Amino acid sequence: MTLLIGGTGKTGRRVADRLLQRNIDVRVASRRSKTRFDWDDESSWAPALDGQKAAYITFYPDLGLPGAADKVGAFADLAAKNGVEQLVLLSGRGEPLAQEAEQRVKDAGTGWTIVTCSWFAQNFSEDFLVDAVVSGDIRLPAGDVAEPFVDAEDIADVVADALTDPDHQGAHYELTGPRALTFTEVAAELSRASGREIRYTAISHEEYEDVLRAAGLPVELGDMFRGILDGRNAQPADGVRQALGRPARDFSEYAARAAATGVWSVPQVR
């Protein structure tokens, strides 16, 4: 069996679909799933690991936050003691604290694959930026920095292979999209795909902290963005091709696919 921590999330549910299509048993674990898993409750870890040979590790709310590496390292050590043979870690590109977690997984004594990702394209349709897109104004402290947004479909393809094919053991893949876009360019892509006018407004980090508070998210995320939205991640990587032998999906393909679901349609007032 394969354990999927955060198996109902953006990447986890896609990985689950792919593994089930291969007739692989999966155990979906989260704070609200049948198999309960909570990063803040270590008593939930061992039951989730029981009988598993592979595990996909995603950390909530973000691997780049203080304390995350220690929790992930403790979990990886426990997984090794419980006979897990392969760990696949979802990590964040350009995040120093996430790199500490990566090393802890490598040191645990299991097989491992690290999947380090740029910003998810799906943040605009399945996460904290959905409402901003629907409102027509994406407000972030990103200036004119470019980011090679990665499609969660590509991440799931790589992770599913890494969980099932031993050829991926010991590999560290850096996953991005094929081109970097500024948030102004992202807004233009979303406008074309949705048929609506969507703009990007650069705000200060202090203003963004107010946005996070209003959304009920940790203010520390603002400190993390202050670091990674500085251009360090602007260069696209070729991890998707390295892992799968094909190019990464483009942002425009994602935008068209998401727009077709109606996620960015403005509710009609009656």
Give the pLDDT of the chain (270 residues) as one tens digit per residue.
999 999 999 999 999 999 999 999 999 999 999 999 999 999 999 999 999 999 999 999 889 889 999 999 999 999 999 999 999 999 999 888 999 999 999 999 999 999 999 999 999 999 889 999 999 999 999 889 999 999 999 999 999 999 999 999 999 999 999 999 999 999 999 999 999 999 999 999 889 888 888 878 778 777 767 767 788 899 999 999 999 999 999 999 999 999 999 999 977 544
pTM for the model stands at 0.94
Find how far residue 6's CA is from the centre of its chain: 10
Domain containing 254 — which CATH number? 3.40.50.720
Please give the residue range of the domain that contains residue 243.
Answer: 2-260
How many domains is the chain partitioned into structurally? Answer: 1
At residue 38, what are phi and psi to the nearest 5 degrees?
-135, 120
Distance of CA 160 to the CA centre of its chain: 14
- Angle, helices 96-106/68-81, rounded to nearest 10 degrees: 10
In a domain, 20, yes or no: yes
Say if 266 falls within a structural domain.
Answer: no
Phi-psi region of 109 (alpha: psi -120 to 50; beta: other; left: phi over 0): left
265 found inside a domain:
no
Within a domain: 269: no
Q: Residue 62 domain-assigned?
A: yes
Instruction: Please tell me what DSSP assigns to residue 41.
Output: B
Q: Is residue 268 situated within a structural domain?
A: no
Whether residue 267 lies inside any domain: the answer is: no
- Buried-exposed string 114-149: b where 16+ CB fall within 10 A, e elsewhere: bbbbbbbbbbbbbeebbebbbebebbbbbeebbbbb
Alpha-helix runs per DSSP H in 145-250: 152-164, 183-194, 205-215, 220-228, 239-244
Give, as one character, the DSSP assignment of residue 120: B
Q: Is the dihedral of CA 35, 39, 41, 46 positive or negative?
A: positive
